[in-house]
Amino acid sequence: MYDHLTVVTHPLVQHKLTLMRDKATSTAEFRQLLREISQLLAYEITRELEMTTRRIETPLREMDAPVLAGKKMALISILRAGNGLLDGVLELVPSARVGFVGLYRDEETLQPVQYYFKVPQDLKDRLVIVVDPMLATGNSSAAAVDLLKQAGANDIRFMCLLAAPEGVARMKEAHPDVPIVTASLDERLDEQGYIMPGLGDAGDRMFGTR
């Protein structure tokens, strides 16, 4: 069931995640930890990027040195919590283009409704990395990926901090071609759709709202 999911078990990621889950952690610390973990997750999600070589001269001799083959990247933040993952990844890949998808849940139909969509035009030529800290029901993530595919994206990866089994299953059903990288596969969703044991509302914790 989880063959499209990678859980990054690196000790640094797990340690930082525990600090983030702790309700005693301040907003400032939470934001900083999220930024740090985003870079460690980005390391994993970009592991298979294509490489080529470039002829360079070190101070001692010439060599064919490895460089990225140059497939361009787009980072897509699902508003608003996705922005907490965005900056850290952008530091590692400063040339990436950035897009934003805003979705809210219709209280009657419970379906995601788009309120904002602004993405780079050439998505079809880019590796698209979607960032959202919490993969809960998976409904908004699946809807966001639907929109990105309609906009031309055909090489999409999904990066989150925590995933619930329900969300992973939903994504696999809707988008089996989209690999997911996360720091933890938690136990389940509660009745309100929170990930358990989770860390609460990621947006509220990173922006200090309630």
Annotated binding-site positions: 80, 105, 132-140, 195, 200-202
Active-site residue, selected from the candidate residues 87, 146, 155, 201? 201
Chain centroid offset of residue 15 CA: 19
Q: Which stretch binds ligand URA (CB under 6 A): 16-24, 87-95, 146-154, 195-203?
A: 195-203
Give the annotated binding-site residues for 5-phospho-alpha-D-ribose 1-diphosphate: 80, 105, 132-140, 201
205 is a catalytic site residue: no
97 is a catalytic site residue: no
- Considering only residues 78-137, where is the footprint of ligand URA by CB under 6 A? 81, 134, 136
C-beta closer to ligand URA: residue 16 or 21:
21
Residues 6+ apart with CB under 8 A from 157: 45, 127, 128, 129, 130, 178, 179, 180, 181
Other residues' Cβ atoms within 10 Å of the Cβ of residue 173: 10
Active-site residue, selected from the candidate residues 31, 97, 105, 155? 105
3-state secondary structure of 62: strand
C-beta closer to ligand URA: residue 46 or 139:
139
CB contact at 8 A, 180 and 163 = yes
Residue 195 as a binder of ligand URA (CB under 6 A): the answer is: yes
The residue from 112, 120, 165, 198 that contacts ligand URA (CB under 6 A) is 198
For 26, counting Cβ atoms within 10 Å of its Cβ (0-12 exposed, 13-18 middle, 19+ buried), the class is exposed
3-state secondary structure of 32: helix
